[in-house]
Amino acid sequence: MKQSDALRYAFMGLDFDRLDALAAARKIVALARGNRFSYIVTPNVDHVVQLDRLNDPALAMAYRNAELCLCDSRNLARLARWSGINLPVVTGSDLTRDLLVAALPSAKIAVVGGDEQIHGDLAALFPRFEWTFFTPPMGIRHDPAARTAIAEFVEAAAADVVFLAVGAPQSEMVCAEINQRGRARGVALCIGASLEFLTGAKNRAPVWMRRTGFEWLFRLLSEPQRLWRRYLLEGPRIFILWQQWQQERKINVARLPV
């Protein structure tokens, strides 16, 4: 993590930044102008559950070393509020839309993931940008060669903004490895299905469902075969993890010197 701890909320093993959507977009625009590489993560409930289930120190470090860590879940923010923490919600989908529609000036943008249809739609929707695309193979998480190929693409592209649309935890792992190599520039965002929503390849939940924390239900009903395990089996574990975090927090407070 790059910013002062005073600007962060520590919650469930992650350090979230105290930025709203506008401030986050401005920060990303500033990072895009720089010569060094940085990356943005947007954890949601699924990410927190994966971090616990995988128990991978390298993955945990990938989140810690991100330039910004923004909460992508109103349900996660609700648990934080029950813990007395006001956690701003900045979803990856909204942030991607804001950057491409208004916040970013003309810029060079690289996309890792997606298919030719999405690539063509992005170029047609946002012609003011210079686009470059790379479609990696499946199985990135367990394929070091594939991750190296992505890193080399990002380094050669030298884009101002890189969108990683290959899912979690692959996106975060790749960004951490690119950062460690020290040869790239620009700012990368781990954005999940954001580009699919933006181009209409997938339908996003209605606004009322997003605001009330039921976007997960819309996605489950839209893609039940792919997402049933994430939302019905793995997702509810967040309540157990939250209770464990609450207990650890109480113990740590009790150990503080009087």
Task: Identify the pLDDT of residue 8.
Answer: 87
Position 3 confidence tier, pLDDT thresholds 50, 70, 90: very low
Whether residue 226 is predicted with pLDDT greater than 70 in this model: the reply is yes
Instruction: Give the rounded percent of residues in the chain with a pLDDT score beyond 90.
Output: 91
What is the pTM for the complete model shown? 0.93
Is 226 within the bounds of a domain? yes
Is 258 within the bounds of a domain? no
Per DSSP, the three-state class of 145 is helix
Per DSSP, the three-state class of 146 is helix
- Mean pLDDT of the region 229-241: 96
What is the crossing angle of helices 170-181 and 144-157, to 10°? Answer: 60
Task: Identify the pLDDT of residue 206.
Answer: 94
Whether residue 216 is predicted with pLDDT greater than 50 in this model: the reply is yes
Task: Identify the pLDDT of residue 258.
Answer: 56
pLDDT digits over 95-147, tens only? Answer: 999 999 998 988 999 999 999 999 999 999 999 999 999 999 888 999 999 99
What average pLDDT is seen over the chain?
94
Is 257 within the bounds of a domain? no
Q: Which two tokens stand for residue 169?
A: 């935890």
**How many distinct structural domains can be found in the chain?**
1
Q: DSSP states of 37-93 as a string?
A: EEEEE---HHHHHHHHHH--HHHHHHHHT-SEE-B--HHHHHHHHHTT----B--HH
- Mean pLDDT of the region 184-196: 96
pLDDT digits over 34-78, tens only? Answer: 999 999 999 999 999 999 999 999 999 999 999 999 999 999 999
Range of the domain at 173: 5-250
Position 238 confidence tier, pLDDT thresholds 50, 70, 90: very high
Task: Identify the pLDDT of residue 4.
Answer: 44
Q: Which two tokens stand for residue 140?
A: 């990135």
Task: Identify the pLDDT of residue 189.
Answer: 98
pLDDT digits over 146-184, tens only? Answer: 999 999 999 999 999 999 999 999 999 999 999 999 999
Task: Identify the pLDDT of residue 5.
Answer: 53
Position 253 confidence tier, pLDDT thresholds 50, 70, 90: confident
